[in-house]
Structure 1
Amino acid sequence: MGKRKKEEPAAQIAGKDNLQRMNFLYQMAHTVMSVNPKNVQLARYYTSTLKNISKTCVQRQDPSVKRTICKRCDSLLIPGVTATVRIREGDTEMMAEPPAKPEPEAPVTQVETNSQTDSQTKQTPDAVDGSPRPQSQEETTTLPEVLSEPKETIDFKVMWNKKKYDITFPLDDTVEMLKKHIQGLTGIPPAMQKLMYKGLAQDQKTLRELKVTKGAKMMVVGSTLDDVVAATTVDKEAIKEEEKKEKSQKESFSSQKLHKKILDKGKPDDVMPGHKGKEKLPTVPLSGMLNKSGGKVRLTFKLELDQLWIGTKDRTDKLPLGSIKAVVSEKIDGQEEYSIMGLQLGPTEASRYWVYWVPSQYVEAIKDAILGKWQYF
């Protein structure tokens, strides 16, 4: 017998975790809008977070997702709910402008019933001479024919947030219908509920199929929309104070032993002039700076090739801009016109390539060139 061929490992997807987070936020935005079309602010929070992740992690959005989010206000574009659709010269355009809500139409079907105790027969005008005629058996509907047989029910308990609810529910109804009933008790939308009974209960299953018994306990996992909004609403002033506190407690780059030994050598004589303002990248390479070994280093930006060339005395490394994961910088203590900059070339902070005596006016331009200047799509 021949040897079985080894199965080839599945191809790795770059940024899989980021894509999963973006997909979850996009689905949550649609979920809260489907539960209540008035949840525009909450849906906008999810889409805005999605775009921030796309920017920070340099992860491109799928066009089918990107074109359903407003470029200006991050609103989820749902035709007829949060957006209007215009067709202009064969092109379809969606705008975040909610249309007027149509008034609900009155129901047109009615069911007429006759009591069994009514011995008189309804009379209808004849089509020819206008004389009354008795209704046929097919035209009359009696009350017992309308009422259906009662469904078999079961009594059990539902537990959520340390509270117990006694529920009587039909055995042949599905879990999805039970979730709607629980929404009226707890306020949790069905899409945000998970029912646990001997494992996760699937929406399409009935209580009979789950073998729910009398007096059984079923657990609900989920949060109300008010709880979600309260958890995502953070005091901006508190965040700023916390950042200032952390920044004051954190040791500056200039004080760290790794960088201090390079800075103590003094500013190189041939370094480019620096100041505290902001300028665009020069047309010539940034030269005269030092690396962590104390050797001279120059940075050349080849934007037409989407590359950064890091040149030293011995070699020149040509790095794709997309391979640089992050850029950190801090002004040198006592020499604020110059900065320390770290280019993260790998997944951890240990992979940072340190450059010293970078003119401070070019720091923001360097970050924009490497990470890409954020724009609203």
Structure 2
Amino acid sequence: MATQDGGEEVIMETEAKPKGAEALGEDAEKGETESTSHPVAGDATTQDSNISNGDDTDDEREKVDLKIIWNKNKYDLKIPIDNTGAQLKEKIHSLTGLPPAMQKVMYKGLLPEDKTLREIKVTNGAKIMVVGSTMNDVLAVNTPKEVIQQEVKAEEEKKEPLCRQKQHRKVLDKGKPEDIMPSIKGTKERLPTVPLAGMYNKSGGKVRLTFKLEQDQLWIGTKERTEKVPMGSIKHVVSEPIEGHEDYYMIAFQLGPTEASQYWVYWVPAQFVDAIKDTVLGKWQYF
């Protein structure tokens, strides 16, 4: 029995050693697990970093492509959908030069400045209409016509008299029309209640002028047709007495932004010239 007990003890001791070995093995495995846990933590960091990058990518996707339409021009704009209407106006300013304060931005109505594009449900590819004028346009519009008239007059004084220029001589050389209205030199009269008739235009055809004050229009009538021109669209009026016939004038109404748009009328009675200018430039004559 002693031998057996001893044997058992030996066996127990022998079995105890593997247990110790197992403990060491467990410790070793635990150590390995702990040692390998650090790279996992590093991986977690990498994953966090990847998640962050993923958010940035989402931000990139959270943009909308817009078509900005202003003054018959189209602009492509990509902008975060969480930008406000005010931020959109700043972007439009950088594209067009149109100050935000002078913009009227339209998307299903007037676009609010304090709401985001997401809140007002702006979709990808949406067309944004912009109405407004640049500072240069505003200054040009607000420049008094009298100032423009003075500048034109100063420029005219530097040039050769209009009635000597070839383009006008071919009309003036036809002579004074027989049915022209009588002129009174050295006097100023209001516009007559009937159209000014019997004059020539640049092509040498007969023309009449009718001032429709109640409609704010100048009617330029020829044998072929009558042009109804809003007086507000006439930029300025050029006039000059006809040499040798100073009791009659040649007058041009500039209908567009350049001199090429001038509509010339010849043999206008001198007494009505100032009244014509005042009427067109806004100083209406009432009767």
Give the structure-1-normalised TM-score.
Answer: 0.38
Query: Higher helix share goes to which structure?
Result: 2
Normalised by the length of structure 2, the TM-score is: 0.50
Which entry has the higher C-alpha Rg, 1 or 2? Answer: 2
